Amino acid sequence: MDSKIIMRGNHPFIAHQQPTISPESSKQRSTDFFNSMNSRRSVREFSNQPVPKEVIENIIKTASTAPSGAHKQPWTFCVVSDPLVKQKIREAAEVEEKESYENRMSEEWLQDLAPLQTDWNKPFLEVAPYLIVVFKRAYELTSQASKKNNYYVNEWVGIACGFLLSAIHHAGLVALTHTPSPMNFLTKILNRPENERPFLLIPVGYPAKDALVPDLKRKTLDEVTVWF
């Protein structure tokens, strides 16, 4: 159904359309959604089982519904399934990660990571069928090679990644929110333009049959909430 256009100034508006549901349904739906999201875990052990491309398209479309300042949508999702590109990314990530684990990370940081039992080896970067490399667009390049501003880019791209991780979970897949540091190698390997900066590297797929995750506990509602 076409929405009726109402002009505000020179700009078209349409009626907000979201079905109203009862408070009881809201309770049920928020409980169900919490239970679903509470079962999401970051996974580092992937199966190489293929994932339909349509699922990846849908989760990226979902991420791109996120709000953004001045509706600039300052994100680019690079989708990598080519084994040669995945191999290049793994090799470059492991070079940086080895240096980080051996020389750059503080004792305190290494101790904080001990419960996760991570190290510089990143086999998941080749095993997972897809790597989604999220770039933030610091500004936009116009055809006249001038720059157009984007605003609060970290906040909006972070929110879009939250939507992406939720959509991945909802689709029955798993992901790792991976931050090899520094990440400039992704700009080079994926040949991204000067206005884009790597933000997160997210392997996506099915979990390995015998995948383990650390036995972590989440903070309680009281620990994370202050009511006024």
Residues near ligand IYR, by CB under 6 A: 97, 113, 116, 118, 178-181
CB 77 within 8 A of CB 59: no
Where do the H-state alpha helices sit in 39-182? 53-63, 83-99, 107-113, 124-127, 153-170
Shortest distance in whole angstroms from residue 107 CB to ligand IYR: 14
Nearer to ligand IYR, 176 or 190 (CB): 176
Shortest distance in whole angstroms from residue 218 CB to ligand IYR: 15
Nearer to ligand IYR, 39 or 106 (CB): 106
Q: Where are the beta strands (DSSP E) in the chain?
A: 6-8, 11-13, 75-80, 130-137, 139-141, 147-149, 174-175, 196-205
CB 215 within 8 A of CB 156: no
Nearer to ligand IYR, 68 or 175 (CB): 175
Shortest distance in whole angstroms from residue 135 CB to ligand IYR: 18
| Helix or strand (DSSP H, E) at 184 | helix 184-189
Nearer to ligand IYR, 48 or 181 (CB): 181
Shortest distance in whole angstroms from residue 178 CB to ligand IYR: 6
